[in-house]
Amino acid sequence: MSALDSLAASTVVVVDTADLDLLSRWSARDATTNPSLIRKAAADPRYARLVAAAVSGSADVNDRLDALLVAFGVQILQRLPGRVSTEVDARLSHDTEGTLRRARALMARYAAQGVPRERVLIKIAATWEGIVAARMLEAEGIHCNLTLLFSFAQAQACAAAGVKLISPFVGRITDWHRLQAGGAWDAEQRRGANDPGVQAVRRIWYDYKQQGVPTEVMGASFRDLDQIAALAGCDLLTIPPALLDALAASDRAMPRQLDAAQAGPAIDPLPPVLSQQDFEQCMRTDRMATEKLQEGVRLFSADTEAVLSQLAAA
């Protein structure tokens, strides 16, 4: 049994790519995309016809962007049995109304292609404004994937909002702690279950299980197989192609590490309602989460701008 098969026994494997030619390589159920992956795929000559067909109907670059996102999403869903995560324009991460408009527009495009709502997750940055938008979208039956999630406070707010799925960023959390430690970082000591990013996801996952929160937890942003192995048993893990290949080529056992039966009684009660004041206070005191959220929004926005430049010239 390969490590990938072993992992799939306890965790739903999700492929983190917009490269359509790679999707059939692994037995993944779902796929995630983001502005960086779409930018790379849109510039690939293999997908020139898909891009041209998607953007031919409008001169507005924002409409072209949404058409392109849905075009890739539809193609992904033709190759995988589950769901695709499609991200709202990252430049709207602090704009609730703007996020709502674009999310509804994306779902309308999917509906026009005959794609059922349950096969699409609208991906939104886990800012306060994004979480508020997600709460409203979920009430409309539009399911959301809250991304760029780095803190327990973000996870609590998402649970209170009734979000379908969250994507805590394992690797980026660890990157921050490694950078802060500098030469004092002990890679062996902080491996696996001692990895800061792994610990963050474990805390969220066990708290959700203790509280009976139905929100799915999907670990994301992995750097190595040790991080993946330490989170076997998580609801879902979205993994990039290079690490999926490494898992498929390895015979390493991936036994379940997260077990709901071991969650125990509730420790951290979730707030019954969203509180902007509490959320913002928690974020102010969590430098890592604040810095990584700001950085993620900035980088995804830059990639969105790059895609828009490509589409303007198409």
CB 102 within 8 A of CB 89: yes
Q: Are 199 and 270 in contact (CB under 8 A)?
A: no
Residue 84 three-state SS: strand
Kindly name the residue from 123, 164, 209, 292 that is annotated as catalytic.
123
* Under 8 Å between Cβ of 23 and 31: yes
**Other CB atoms closer than 10 Å to residue 256's CB: what's the count?**
13
Distance CA 221, CA 224 (A): 10
Tokens of 308: 């828009």
In the 8-state DSSP scheme, what is residue 169?
Answer: B
Q: Under 8 Å CB-to-CB from 194, ≥6 apart: which residues?
A: none
Strands 236-239 vs 84-87: parallel, antiparallel or unpaired? unpaired
Cα–Cα dist 157/155, whole Å: 5
Terminal-residue alpha carbon distance, the chain = 46
What phi and psi values does residue 15 have, to the nearest 5 degrees? Answer: -95, 135
125 — phi, psi (to 5°)?
-65, 140
Q: Is 123 annotated in the active site? A: yes
Query: What's the gap between Cα 289 and its chain centre?
Result: 16
Cβ atoms of residues 65 and 307 within 8 Å: yes
Four-CA torsion 218, 107, 293, 237, nearest 10 degrees: 10
- Active-site annotation, residues: 123
